[in-house]
């Protein structure tokens, strides 16, 4: 399972990088880091948080917390 996810992720990164023209290696690194930090990690489903995305999990967490306080 993990190797399938890793292969999918690497294949996507190759497509991302292949279609871009970077002026430097650092620009390529920054682009990949931006994708990982702002899209991949926040939008992929995480098994450790009940198969939710981190954004959805935070919304559920704070909604439940506000109901307990009220």
Per-residue model confidence as pLDDT tens digits over 6-41: 888 788 888 877 788 889 999 988 988 888 888 777
Per-residue pLDDT at 5 exceeds 80: no
Backbone angles phi, psi at 52, to 5 degrees: -110, 160
- Nearest-angstrom CA–CA distance, 41 and 16: 16
Which segments of the chain does DSSP mark as H helices, in order? 2-18, 25-34, 41-43, 54-69
CB 20 within 8 A of CB 28: yes
Predicted local distance difference test score (pLDDT) of residue 62: 93
**Domains of the chain by residue range:** 2-69
């Amino acid at each position: 399972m993990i190797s399938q996810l890793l292969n999918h992720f690497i294949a996507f990164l190759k497509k991302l990088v292949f279609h871009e023209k970077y002026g430097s290696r650092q620009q390529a690194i920054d682009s990949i880091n931006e994708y990982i930090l702002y899209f991949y990690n926040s939008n992929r489903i995480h098994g450790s948080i009940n198969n939710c995305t981190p954004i959805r999990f935070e919304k559920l967490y704070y909604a439940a917390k506000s109901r307990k306080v009220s």
